[in-house]
Chain A
Amino acid sequence: MTLPSGLSDSVADSEPLARFLTSSSQFNVSGVKPSVFLPNPKNNQTSVFRHGAEPREALWRIAREYAVGDRPLHGAAVCLAGDVRAVLLEVNPKEPPPGHANIENWSVNKNDPELTKATQKELATKIAQRATLVQF
């Protein structure tokens, strides 16, 4: 089935996912830092867009129009959906906006929020290791 954006309603493992960087502290020469992929505490999801590094201008437009607005924009962390699923998380489309998806299935231990955070950090670290830093 096809979504309004024209993309498939299921995200293939080979699809690239972009997470936009609004602070220079979110990356260094080694690459992307783990905190970039941590979930939003309000909904326990990590918002991404189904787009790779190229075309660069299209990626930048997605960021400006649908993600960060006029906030500082340093670049994007691009990983594959398969890298997310390799750590037993899930990637599901969530439109609008077009091309938007969420990384979901982050584990939660309601009795121990710090252990929840530690578990999530480990997964975020593994995803970040496989991500490519794209700078604007």
Chain B
Amino acid sequence: MLKPISTVGAQVGLALLYSLARPGTAISNEAALVQTAANRAMDSVERSRALFGNKATAISQVWALAQECSVEDWDGNGSLPIKPVSVHRAIALIRALPADMPLPEFAPDPDGAISLDWIRSRSRLFSLSVGDSDRLAYAWLDGSDSGHGVARFDGEALPLRVLQGIASIMEFNDAAIGIV
């Protein structure tokens, strides 16, 4: 018997999706198709929640680091406090990262910037500094090979060569955004 879907108070949202995705005794092809589609939609929503949760955690870590290094000379060597603009740019960068791309670790720079470090091992890493300029300084180490560069971040989309650099070090593939 088909389970009735209440139309009272029905709204586009998770409640409807859950009800459609719930296994039932659907007897028609159409009902089965709807159930399959609803399951896929729920998977996407829950995956997005997981990803957003990870990004939310990363953003919290940025704020915590900013708080920890909010005073001048936080390291005893004359370092500058982390600048508010560095925090906001770091957060924007986190949000701009492609879904599924590994999230970085964070560290304070002595000039008030924040380093975002993708570390695969001692000899393979990609490090990006976010400061008060929209030009980001980065460096990478890949075994005995290394390099550095500068890339502009407009606050919304990371330059492809930065994404490719990170992806290469972290062995991350995403053909959809040109990283293979």
Contact residues in B for A117 (Cβ distance below 8 Å) = 111, 113, 129, 131, 137
Cα–Cα distance between A101 and B30 once the two chains are bound (Å): 76
Contact of B137 among A26, A28, A68, A114 (CB under 8 A): A114
- Interface pair B75/A121, CB less than 8 Å apart: no
Interface hit among B9-17, B20-28, B117-125, B170-178: B117-125
Report yes or no: B122 in contact with A30, Cβ–Cβ below 8 A: yes
Check B106 against A25 for contact (C-beta < 8 Å): yes
Q: Is B7 an interface residue (CB 8 A)?
A: no
Would you call B127 and A34 a contact (CB within 8 A)? Answer: yes
> How far, in angstroms, from A115 to B137 measured CA to CA in the complex?
6
**Given known contacts A114-B135, A115-B137, A118-B148, A35 and B109 CB-to-CB distance under 8 angstroms:** yes
B interface, size bucket: 35 or more
Q: Decide if B105 touches A125 in the complex (CB within 8 Å).
A: no
Asked if residues A40 and B110 are in contact (CB atoms below 8 Å), the reply is yes
Which interface residue of B68, B74, B107, B117 has the most chain A CB atoms within 10 A? B107
Q: How many residues of A contact B (CB 8 A)?
A: 37
Q: Tell yes or no: B53 within 8 A of A by CB.
A: no
A114 to B89, CA, bound (A): 15
- Distance (Å) between the CB of A58 and the closest chain B CB? 18
Query: A69 contacts the other chain (Cβ, under 8 Å)?
Result: yes
Q: Which residues of B contact A112 (CB under 8 A)?
A: 150
* Residues of B near any A CB (own CB < 8 A): 65, 68-69, 74-80, 105-111, 113, 115, 117, 119, 121-123, 125, 127, 129, 131, 133, 135-141, 146-150
